[in-house]
């Protein structure tokens, strides 16, 4: 997906060869750089990550989340 689709609240992951691994939620975007927190939390884990280094992957994350025990116990 393109960087225009990434907005506050999007679930993202780092692109190939990125130092960011895992899934994060975009907490804020300022000047083309994003702050990332966990999908359910508020604590910021990464600050100032260029939006061009991120790709939106909400469907991929949700498919994995549906397979977890936490989700299945709801």
Provide the pLDDT for residue 44: 95
pLDDT tier, 3 (very low <50, low <70, confident <90, very high otherwise) = low
Euclidean distance between CA atoms 2 and 38, whole angstroms = 21
* Secondary structure in 3-state letters for 1-43: CCHHHCCCCCEEEECCCCCCCCCEEEEEEECCEEEEECCCCCC
pLDDT in tens, 11-70: 999 987 778 889 999 999 999 999 999 999 999 999 999 999 999 999 999 999 999 999
Residues 6 or more apart whose Cβ sits within 8 Å of residue 62: 11
Provide the pLDDT for residue 16: 77
Q: Please answer whether residues 37 and 20 qualify as being in contact, where contact means their C-beta atoms are separated by less than 8 angstroms.
A: no
Provide the pLDDT for residue 4: 65
């Amino acid at each position: 997906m393109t960087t225009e689709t990434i907005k506050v609240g999007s679930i993202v992951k780092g692109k190939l060869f990125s130092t960011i691994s895992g899934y994060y939620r975009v907490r804020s975007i300022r000047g083309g750089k994003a702050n990332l927190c966990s999908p359910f939390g508020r604590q910021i884990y990464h600050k100032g990550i260029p939006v061009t280094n991120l790709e939106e992957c909400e469907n991929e994350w949700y498919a994995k989340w549906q397979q977890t025990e936490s989700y299945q116990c709801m």
